[in-house]
Structure 1
Amino acid sequence: MAEQPILTVEGLTAAYGAVTALNKVNMTVPRGGICAVLGANGAGKTTLLRTLSGLKRAEAGRVLLEGADITRIPAERHVHHGLVHVPEGGGVIVELTVEENLRLGGLWRAGRRERAARMAEVVELFPPLRERLSRPAATLSGGERQMLAIGRALMAGPRVLLLDEPSLGLAPLVTRQIMDMLLQLRADRDLTVVLVEQNARSALSITDHGFVLNQGEVVMEDSSRRLLADDRMRHAYLGF
């Protein structure tokens, strides 16, 4: 018997007024996989993640996390169910220190010992943060802020991590470091990642499966290897 997918999306529809941003989107994400969501600007990628995490209300359809319907629960409750969203730009609070930002991510965790253990894991994963724990997040570089945003999400102990454009505005070397880190997280923690990424080539190089959106609809899905090799699809929807 096949293992139940950790995340299932059925007929998900979302709109902004009269404009349909997602139109009956279906997705299946296996446990421990890294899936790319690709498409041009305005294709609906960010709206998809916002709807999955409850920040955007679904007009129709369902989001199932390990078979449990989480479509209508408040956005803050998604974290308790194991689904954490890192929005585009990371959303770190620049007035707080690095350590304070990280602690925010683990607030709902009851045990002080558990929070301390997660903090130790995060700074081990991101060594630059260890050296800057007492500094305001405003002093961090773009790459360090992205590390902080992902580290804060990991403090909540997610089973599914939604990442929106983690490489946006970063140098190629830092982008490569972020992508390598995602592979390490999957290997070490059995973490499932849904990655929205404008750099399609970079995303497909580390993911297992890809979904291509166009005008709010899934127009193609396949293994990342086959999507990368499909010249017609790449030219039509991904621009490379």
Structure 2
Amino acid sequence: MLEIEALTVHHGLVRALSDVSLRVEEGSITAVLGANGAGKTTLLRTVSGLIRPTAGRITAFGQDLTGLPADRIARSGIAHVPEGGGVIPELTVAENLRLGALWRADREDRAAALGATLELFPPLAPRLDKPAGTLSGGERQMLAIGRGLMGRPRMLLLDEPSLGLAPLVTAKIMAVLRDLRADTGLTVVLVEQNARSALSVADHGFVLGLGELVASNDAASLLADEQLSDAYLGLRGAR
């Protein structure tokens, strides 16, 4: 589904990613883990076209996406939900959701996508006419993910969906991701600092450290690796 080869990205003179290569299987949930500054957000922003790579290649759905503009990548079937969600507080919940499907010409499909999104996130249904700024943090995150799903993507890039949320809300969002993958075959790339939460739903995980890929394994093996946990994942203190 997604293959990244020798990806290098600079922010000015700073090298944010260095020769990163990884592969995401179709229909999987893949966690990208690491501490602050590891390059996780940069990786997603480069895949979605918000940052141009210095070197390397990004392929998805059999297409070379390297360096394409963000709108072309979105239309290819990749939706990116940024850190913090990025909802527009002045717009209503319904207006925010409609933005996610604005480029789709099929109005009936847009209506069907809205219905499916509200089934996934029932708390949004009674708030459709309310400004997004009136939502709780958890509801805003649901709205951000729902907006991404409105475009019927084949792959969802999620950046820190648990940031600032209560554990119970985080658990609900992770459960939705698991159900989405099971019911629709959606491929999810999940960037998280909350390694335990991410690995609880992921099939596979990659660990970044200072812009380099330092580990790759199935989720259970990463959870069990105490040396890796101490060095990069902060799991020991969370036990």
TM-score (norm 2): 0.97
Q: Tell me how far apart the structure 2 counterparts of residues 156 and 218 of structure 1 sit (CA, whole Å).
A: 31
The residue aligned with 2:45 is 50
Q: After the TM superposition, which residues 185-224 of structure 1 pair with which residues of structure 2 at under 5 Å, given as runs?
A: 185-224=180-219
1:111 aligns with 2:130: no
Indicate the SS of the match to 1:169: coil
Task: Determine whether 1:157 maps to 2:152.
Answer: yes
Which whole-Å CA distance do the structure 2 matches of 1:57 and 1:169 have between them? Answer: 29
Paired with 2:106 and 2:137, the residues of 1 have a C-alpha distance of 31
Deviation string 1:148-205 (CA, Å, 9 cap, x unpaired) is 0000000011111000000000000000000000001101110000000110011111
In 2, distance between residues paired with 1:67 and 1:145? Answer: 33
Matching residue of 2:5:
10
In the TM superposition, residue 111 of structure 1 has moved relative to its aligned partner by: 1.1
Counterpart residue identity of residue 16, structure 1: H
The residue that corresponds to 1:124 in the other structure is 119
For 1:177, which of 169, 172, 178 is the aligned residue? 172
SS at match of 2:178: helix
How far apart are 1:72 and its partner, in Å?
A: 1.6
Q: Distance in 2 between matches of 1:176 and 1:239?
A: 19
1:138 matches 2:155: no
Counterparts of 2:231 and 2:123 in 1: how far apart (Å)? 39
What residue number does 2:162 align with?
A: 167
**Could you tell me which residue of structure 1 aligns to residue 93 of structure 2?**
98
Deviation at 1:79, TM superposition (A): 1.1
2:24 to 9, 24, 29: 29
CA drift at 1:77: 1.2
- Pick the aligned partner of 2:14 from 2, 19, 31: 19
Identity within the alignment, %: 64
- Measure, in 1, the Cα distance between the counterparts of 2:67 and 2:106: 28
Q: Which residue of 1 aligns with 2:230?
A: 235
- TM-score scaled to structure 1, two decimals? 0.97
In the aligned structure 2, how far is the partner of 1:55 from the partner of 1:154?
Answer: 19
**Which among 83, 87, 90 is matched to residue 82 of structure 2?**
87
For 1:212 and 1:77, how far apart are their aligned partners in 2?
A: 28
**Deviation beyond 4 Å, 4+ runs, structure 1:** none
Q: 3-state SS of the aligned residue for 1:237? A: helix
The separation in 2 between residues aligned to 1:160 and 1:61, in whole angstroms, is: 20
- Look up the SS of the partner of 1:121 in the other structure: helix
Aligned to 2:62: 67
SS at match of 1:76: helix
Q: 2:71 aligns with which of 71, 76, 81?
A: 76
CA–CA distance in structure 2, aligned partners of residues 121 and 178 of structure 1:
15
Cα distance, 1:226 vs. partner? 0.3
1:67 deviates by: 1.9
Equivalents in 1 of 2:79, 2:20: separation in Å?
A: 20
Where does structure 2 lack aligned partners over 5 or more consecutive residues? none
| Aligned equivalents of 1:34, 1:114: Cα separation in 2 | 25
SS at structure 2 position matched to 1:232:
helix
